[in-house]
Amino acid sequence: MSGFVSFVSSGPGDPELLTVKAVDRLQNAEVVLFDDLSSGPILEHAKPDADLIGVGKRAGRASPKQDHVSRVLVEHAQAGLRVVRLKSGDSGMFGRLEEEIVALQAAGISFEIIPGVTSASAAAATAGIPLTRRLTARRVQFITGADVTGDLPVDVNMAALADPMATTVVYMGKRTFAGLAARLIEHGLPGDTPAMLAEAVSTPAEKVQRFTIATLATHLETTTSTTPALIFYGPLAELDG
């Protein structure tokens, strides 16, 4: 008899940002497959006898391949266990959720998706800024700064990304933002467009810094850090937190 998989969104790192449903699923899971950014205090909600399996991926580090993660997920569910797949932020936001759903569907395994607080919302809250502004930022766009090779995607809509009336949030973009900034400026976005770098969102190591897109590009080219980060640019970054 097949088990059941709950894709649980752990939020950006602060365990107090977990939803009630997320805590319930963790407390009742027999197996928890967790990402690196979902470890630590969040795993304290799991049962003492739950099998905890780290399957996180981090840029520049040895990480499990996605097909391996999907296979382990299927195998535990096929054993009739209650499985939690714990993903950082919101599981549907750049979290490789689709590949794992496809694997479960192919194996005939039932699942549910429990949404959570994405790091963009948490970072904006920490900085004291809205993601939208009534007159100058009516649209919000979330993008990834890295394709499957880790490079800047080549098929992005630069006209949309260079829209001065949009709030843009870049996930996984520290390594590639200098190249993105150059392309944004080429497509008409002013180099002095406000930008913000939010690192280790909602953790004790959280750090928020303000730049322009030009100065942020320079900063990221001349510093080295493996801390997870988000990049914001557009009208919202003009506000002081």
Q: Are 164 and 234 in contact (CB under 8 A)?
A: yes
State the Cα–Cα distance between residues 30 and 52, nearest whole angstrom. 9
Contact 8, 87 (CB under 8 A): yes
Q: How many CB atoms lie within 10 A of CB 19?
A: 16
How many C-beta neighbours within 10 Å does residue 229 have?
24
Q: How far apart are CA 3 and CA 23, in angstroms?
A: 19
Q: What are phi and psi of 40, to 5 degrees?
A: 70, -140
Residues, the chain, total?
Answer: 241
Catalytic residues: 35, 57, 172
